[in-house]
Chain A
Amino acid sequence: MKYFTYLSIGTLFGIIMTKSQAISWYRIYEMFRFDAFHMYGIIGSAVILGIISVALIKKYKFKSTEGMPISFTAKNMSIPRYLFGGTIFGLGWAMTGACPGPIYTLLGTGYSVILVVLLSAILGTLTYGVVKNRLPH
């Protein structure tokens, strides 16, 4: 039953990503060329509403459906980690036109070759795990 909840939320997410065309390589290319407002509108409105929602959750100390307080973990401060890691991610995002959410969604839309992108991303994650102690964090 719990898993059905996550499956449903995921299904909603997949439909949103598809219907808003956020899964489209073209929309990401267009975004990085600043040719259209579409992707900025999606991410921007999601973030603005997110900031308001998170602030309200903290202010009124909302609890999750399990009865636990909804908690937010602060991320450890570092510049090289986020800047270098983010830049590497951005290179891949602009190349494949897909971040991890759209990778999964695109599989469902029938682009089976995206499986190659997914397996390569898993390999990239594995490689990070192996070399991470040698990278600046």
Chain B
Amino acid sequence: MERIIEWMSQPWPWYVAGPLITLTMLLLLFAGKSFGVSDTLRTTCAIGGGGKVSDFFDFDWRKQVWNLVFVLGAVIGGFIASTWLQQPEPIPLAQDTVVKLQELGISNPGANYLPEEIFSWDSLFTLRGFVMLVFGGFLIGFGARYAGGCTSGHAISGLSNLQLPSLIAVIGFFIGGLIMTYLLLPVILTL
């Protein structure tokens, strides 16, 4: 058992993780549901009474409770993996990425999952932290619903079903991601 845990605690390579994500999608399909995480944000708005401000949130959210249970599982999975399956080594990032991030003032790239300089409560009260956490989160929620899905709904579920709209959405994800990474982040990170 100890050896199994030790083996599972190694970082999982892409060819293990990718097929397991397909498995996640398939398990949900066979359970009669579909894989799309950002729907939970809309459901939360509906439960919170969003139907009063827009008919977009006026639907029977009870049929979506399963998805909230699914993401609660994701929270538990994150807890299990970081508590009992934690790898001792830093994330093996590409050297070019590490150098670039150090230039931008990130002191220890890969030491943790997230840069502490940005993802901490102290940082939230700085301009840089506020923009990245609050504005960034807002764009995710707004964009995912505008596009009708996020990485799971479009990039995984949609592309698996050969949906052209999903391909257009994924191209959009990359247009936005590249603009942010190359043009905006260098400015925001040095705020």
Name A residues whose Cβ lies closer than 8 Å to a Cβ of B. 2-3, 5-33, 35-47, 49-51, 53-54, 57, 62, 64-66, 68, 70, 72, 74-79, 81-101, 103-114, 116-130, 132, 135
Contact = CB atoms under 8 A, between A and B. Distances in A.
A123 B141 contact: yes
Chain B residues touching A, majority SS: helix
Chain A residues touching B, majority SS: helix
A88 B96 CA distance: 27
B37 A104 contact: yes
A132 B54 contact: yes
A53 B76 contact: no
Contacts of B75: 14, 104-105, 107-108
A37 B65 CA distance: 36
A50 B160 contact: yes
Given A50-B160, A113-B121, A130-B53, A20 B14 contact: yes
Interface of B: 8, 11-33, 37-38, 40-42, 44-45, 50, 53-54, 56-57, 65-67, 69-82, 85, 91, 93-94, 96-97, 100-101, 109-110, 113-115, 118-121, 123-124, 131-148, 150-152, 154-166, 168-182, 184-185, 188
